Amino acid sequence: MGRLSEKVAIISGGAQGQGAAEARLFAAEGAKVIFGDILDAEGEAVASDIRESGGDATYIPLDVTQEADWRGAVEMATTRFGRLDILINNAAVLIPRVSIEDRTGEEWDRVMGVNAKGVFLGTKHAIPAMRAAGGGSIVNISSIAGIGQSAHQEPAYAASKGAIRIFTKVTAAQHAQDNIRCNSVHPGPVDTEMFRAAFAEPEALANRLARVPMRRAGTIDEVVAGVLYLASDESSYVTGTELVIDGGALSM
Ligand SMILES: NC(=O)c1ccc[n+]([C@@H]2O[C@H](COP(=O)([O-])OP(=O)(O)OC[C@H]3O[C@@H](n4cnc5c(N)ncnc54)[C@H](O)[C@@H]3O)[C@@H](O)[C@H]2O)c1
């Protein structure tokens, strides 16, 4: 029996990177997976792959800033499978770092819209479906940027990830009685498209890794293992907490 047998999961930002790996792993562990993104061709390709391997996965266009998209995703889970057990709020954007005085209001709103409001909207629409199912697990992908190493962070991204951190605790405290758990995951550098785009220059990459005691980026598998634990019933007494997966970066 898989670790997510009979569970129904929604994952945002699942067309590539960690979200796609979560869709693959969750389906392999027996979950019925609905995952969304704004990269439709990539998302459809991931879904076909999963189905060819015998998993149950459906890709849907899901812009996390659009409430109607979230409503549709949750409705698909409840009409097709009769329940929703797991939500992984994974989608995010990272923009190149500039000083606070050079950051525009429009850029700030875009980052906060995807990274913070997107998590709020997904959570808002998942809660009634999870309550009806007798409970659930919400995992919000934040970052170590939401906790520290602040001298090096892009301001809007760090603020959005900090917002996710505390929103996670509010959700956990206010919905424990619904048997809904909510936890945040805080990766350090992880070898994905987002990371490679941000640290394309060898010098920038070397400087970034110098701030990680293990002196390397994490692999996608090292992060999604933690996400799986929090999504599954193995973490049944864990809520409102922060799982840092960062090669020791926050210890520096
Ligand atoms: N890679 C890292 O170093 C790192 C470190 C810390 C935290 N994280 C976090 O991990 C999560 C996954 O990131 P990743 O590294 O896999 O990056 P990624 O860029 O490969 O994946 C992010 C996904 O989110 C999608 N997305 C962007 N805007 C969207 C929107 N409006 N609606 C729906 N989907 C949207 C993208 O299309 C992409 O598929 C993010 O929350 C990110 O902030 C990543």
pLDDT digits (tens, 9 = 90+) for 35-71: 999 999 999 999 999 999 999 999 999 999 999 999 9
Token pair belonging to 71? 């409503």
Q: How far is it between the farthest Cα atoms of the chain?
A: 54
The topology under which CATH files domain 8-190+219-241 is Rossmann fold (3.40.50)
Q: Supply the residues annotated as catalytic.
A: 157
Q: What is the position in ligand 1's atom list of the atom closest to the CA of 114?
A: 31
Q: How far is the CA of 33 from the centre of ligand 1 (A)?
A: 18
pLDDT digits (tens, 9 = 90+) for 160-176: 999 999 999 999 999 99
Q: Is the pLDDT of residue 1 over 90?
A: no
Token pair belonging to 132? 């009806």
CA–CA–CA angle 97, 102, 104 (5° rounding): 95
DSSP state letter for 9: E
pLDDT digits (tens, 9 = 90+) for 65-89: 999 999 999 999 999 999 999 999 9
Q: Is the pLDDT of residue 4 over 90?
A: yes
Side chain identity at 215, as an amino acid letter? R
What are the DSSP calls for 13-55, one per residue? S-SSHHHHHHHHHHHHTT-EEEEEES-HHHHHHHHHHHHHTT-
Q: How far is the CA of 160 from the centre of ligand 1 (A)?
A: 13
pLDDT digits (tens, 9 = 90+) for 119-147: 999 999 999 999 999 999 999 999 999 99
The domain spans of the chain are 8-190+219-241
Token pair belonging to 162? 């900090």
Residues with CB under 6 A from ligand 1: 12-13, 15-19, 37-39, 62-65, 90-93, 114, 141, 143, 187, 189-190, 192-195
Give start and end residues of each alpha helix (H) in the chain: 17-28, 40-52, 67-81, 105-112, 118-133, 155-175, 193-198, 202-209, 220-231
What is the mean predicted confidence (pLDDT) over 201-213? Answer: 96
Asked whether the beta carbons of 94 and 145 are under 8 A apart, the reply is no
| Of 63, 45, 108, 93, nearest in space to 197 by CA | 93
Q: What is the position in ligand 1's atom list of the atom closest to the CA of 21?
A: 16
Average pLDDT, the chain: 98
**pTM of this prediction?**
0.98
Q: What is the position in ligand 1's atom list of the atom closest to the CA of 161?
A: 43
Phi, psi of 102 (to 5 degrees): -100, -5
